[in-house]
Amino acid sequence: MASSETTPLLRQVSATPITPDADVGPEAQNADEAHEPRGTFARRLTTLNGFALLISIVIGSGVFSSPGPVDANVPSPGAALLVWLVGGVLAWTGALTMAELGTAIPGEGGIQPYLTHSYGEWVGYLAAWSWIVATMPATLAILSIVFVETIYSSLGVHEPEPPIAHKLFSLLVLVVVATANSISTKTSTRLGNFFVAVKLLAIFLLIVAGLTVVFIYAGSHGKRDMGGGDWHTKGWFEARDTAGVDWKGVGLWESLGFYSTALYGALWAYSGWDKANYVAAELVHPKTQLPLAVNTAIPTIIVCYVAANAVYYVLLPWNVVSTTDAAAVTAVTYFLGKTVAYFASALICLVIAGSALGNSFVAGRMTVAAANKAWIPNIFGTVGQVGPFKVSKSDTRNEDEDADEAMDGGESPINALILSTLLSALYILFGNMRILLTLNGLAEYAFFFLTVLGAIILRWREPELHRPVKPFILIPILFAIISGFVVVRGAMFALVQAGILVAIWGIGVLYYLVRKRVLQRR
């Protein structure tokens, strides 16, 4: 077990010395993989399993809710589709680089152990702090808002600035999700398997609807159009006003700010690409299977997302796309009427509910692990109790028992879930989906940039580091260039969100320094 200064955010079962990188044959590869650090997951997955797992992790609610925020920040539908393509390429290069780190550096817990290895504990701590205080609460707030907006959209209600009633319903959704996880976290995570089929079905039906409109229009020689009409009468790259922006008067530097904001909306939909290292933990031969899984799954997702967004522009008038936060339901309502839209709304709400339950569980687990490392107050590391009061039926649990083991046994990190819920509630009350998308993107990609930059640095600093997966060096460099620019320009364009994030990081650094001083005096 690693020392307390280098232990990853989530539990690590064992660790072995890092061996030099070398070209090995199949037999040597099998022997090498047999001696790799054993993680939580058994190595039983094939390449096809890895492909399916990445698909299930990445495809979520974003493709149904992000098209509006993306379209509102670009001058044309064609530009929006390019943003979705760039977002996919960024996810692709990032996933390959994360696979390199995940197979080279022992430990579980996402990017935290990689940042700790590259820069030191304080950067890994700050990433964990940022995820607990900013990224995860913003994610839960977005999902709660999208859940409510999906229902309202099926009823024909579209509000660019949602009234307080929408926020209150979003808070209700947030509380229900946290309560469900407090009762049975293990059951809530298993529901995700059901939602995978729902996601793929919804995207498939969308694409079929778009193709139907195109074929009917072509078959009638332009006399019958069941879609929005603009898709065949206007130029796909012709600038038009969106969300009150006159694109003819926007300069290059300012337009890059808008494009950065749009890209955050697309990147929200691609969230989960960084979990490629979790796929690696379950593959039989990660050195060969992981790159193949990533290089098939991510392009498939890109095609699905670009196709789905093209469908929105076929089914809807173009001035409607930028005004909705539930594009899929709005498109189905316009195309097939409210009755079918209710069914589509139910499907998408199931997808969102599954994402919210899973993210709420992860948020609670990350908080417990951080508290157990004294990174945040210890009370958030307890399970089966509200505050200092025990409510769990497992009253005989040994106090020294690992919190993860207790949660695996059915106990819930109620205090951690309360913290996450309160923070998410603040984001719901004082923000909206589009503001939160930018905040979430800044918080995530600032550390993704540092992580991939660390991978590049390690190529020179530790060339002997064993890397079962080693993409061409231009791949992480491409990610670092694009993500670095997007973070810097996005922060300059969204000063409020950037200021909030800097304040959160500042508080985190202050707490870290105080903690270090207290520990040194003991």
pLDDT at 408 exceeding the cut of 70:
no
3-class DSSP state of 465? strand
**Nearest-CA neighbor of 456 among 483, 444, 474, 482?**
474
73: how many CB neighbours lie within 10 A of its CB? 27
- Report DSSP state, residue 401: S
In a domain, 29, yes or no: no
Banded pLDDT at 190 (limits 50, 70, 90): low
The answer to whether the beta carbons of residues 170 and 428 sit under 8 Å apart is: yes
* Higher pLDDT among residues 217 and 23, named by residue: 217
Measured distance CA(119)–CA(126) in Å, rounded: 11
Lowest mean pLDDT among 22-26, 71-75, 203-207: 22-26
Q: How far apart are CA 119 and CA 454, in angstroms?
A: 8
Yes or no: say if 280 and 290 are a contact pair by the CB < 8 Å rule.
yes
Confidence at 159, pLDDT banded by 50, 70, 90: low
> Of 71, 55, 65, which Cα lies nearest the Cα of 143?
65
* DSSP type of residue 396: T
**Measured between alpha carbons, how far is 127 from 115 in angstroms, rounded to an integer?**
8
Q: What is the per-residue DSSP string for 419-432?
A: HHHHHHHHHHHH--
Residue 22, domain member (yes or no): no
Residue 15 has pLDDT above 50, yes or no: no
Tokens of 27: 């037999």
Average pLDDT for 11-40 = 43
State the average pLDDT over residues 458-475. 91
Local confidence band at 515 (pLDDT 50, 70, 90 cut-offs): confident
Q: Extract the runs of DSSP E, i.e. beta strands, from 378-474.
A: 385-386, 389-390
Across the range 449-477, mean pLDDT stands at: 92
CATH number of the domain within which 511 lies: 1.20.1740.10
- Distance, CA of 77 to CA of 237 (rounded, Å): 6
Residue 19 has pLDDT above 60, yes or no: no
Give 245's strand partners: 242
Residue corresponding to tokens 């817990």: 109
Task: Tell me whether residue 15 is in a domain.
Answer: no
Q: Which two tokens stand for residue 166?
A: 């929408």
Considering only 38-42, 72-76, 189-193, which range has the smallest mean pLDDT? 38-42
Measured distance CA(30)–CA(156) in Å, rounded: 57
Q: Which residue has the higher pLDDT, 20 or 223?
A: 223
Tell me what pLDDT residue 14 has. Answer: 37
pLDDT value at residue 160: 60
CA dist., res. 152 & res. 148, Å (int): 6
pLDDT digits (tens, 9 = 90+) for 422-455: 999 999 998 888 899 999 999 999 999 999 999 9
In a domain, 34, yes or no: no
Query: What residues form DSSP beta bridges with 283?
Result: 45
Residue 414 clears pLDDT 70, i.e. is over it: yes
Does position 472 have pLDDT exceeding 80, yes or no? Answer: yes
Instruction: Work out the average pLDDT over 33-43.
Output: 48
Contact 49, 442 (CB under 8 A): no
In a domain, 27, yes or no: no
Q: Quick one: which of 435, 408, 516 has its CA closest to 189?
A: 408
What one-character DSSP code corresponds to residue 303?
Answer: H
How many CA atoms lie less than 13 Å away from 228 in the CB half-sphere?
Answer: 21
Per-residue pLDDT of 59-97, as tens digits, reads 877 888 889 999 999 999 999 999 999 999 999 999 999
Give a yes or no: residue 267 inside a domain. Answer: yes
Across the range 464-490, mean pLDDT stands at: 92
| Count of domains forming the chain | 1
Q: What confidence category does residue 17 fall into, taking pLDDT thresholds of 50, 70 and 90?
A: very low
Q: Which domain holds residue 438?
A: 40-392+399-521
Which residues, in sequence order, are CB contacts of 317 under 8 Å at separation 6+? 228, 229, 230
Contacts 24+ apart (CB under 8 A), 2-7: 2/107, 4/373, 5/121, 6/113, 6/116, 6/117, 6/121, 7/107, 7/373
- Specify the range with the lowest mean pLDDT, choosing from 18-27, 120-129, 299-308: 18-27
Indicate whether 66 belongs to any domain.
yes
| Lowest mean pLDDT, pick from 98-107, 227-236, 266-275 | 98-107
The pLDDT value given to residue 102 = 83
Q: Which of 20-24, 194-198, 254-258, 476-480 has the lowest mean pLDDT?
A: 20-24
Angle at 340 between CA 339 and CA 344, to 5 degrees: 125
- Confidence band of 476 (pLDDT split at 50, 70, 90): very high
Q: What is the pLDDT of residue 191?
A: 54
Question: What's the rounded Cα separation, in Å, for the pair 174 and 377?
Answer: 23
Average pLDDT, the chain: 80
Backbone angles phi and psi of 20, in degrees to 5: -65, 150
Mean pLDDT of 30-50: 56
Q: What are phi and psi of 12, to 5 degrees?
A: -115, 130
Is the pLDDT at 143 greater than 50? The verdict is yes
Supply the pLDDT for residue 3.
Answer: 37
Considering 20-29, 143-152, 337-346, 369-378, the range whose residues carry the highest mean pLDDT is 143-152
What pLDDT score was predicted for residue 347? 81
- Asked if 486 contacts 430 with a C-beta cutoff of 8 angstroms, the reply is no
Asked if residue 81 is part of any domain, the answer here is yes
pLDDT at 237: 93
Token couple for 380:
């958030």
Q: What percent of the chain has pLDDT over 90?
A: 33
Note the pLDDT of residue 9: 43
Q: Considering only CA atoms, which of 30, 1, 33, 35 is closest in space to residue 15?
A: 1
User: Do you know the residue count of the chain?
Assistant: 522
H helices present in 462-494, as ranges:
474-493
Helix-, strand-, coil-residue percentages of the chain, each rounded to 5: 70, 0, 25
Residue 304, C-beta contacts closer than 8 angstroms, at least 6 positions apart: 59, 63, 203, 207
Residue 266 pLDDT > 90: yes
If one compares 369 and 145, the residue with the highest pLDDT of the two is 145
> Strand, coil or helix: what is 148?
helix
d(CA 258, CA 70): 9
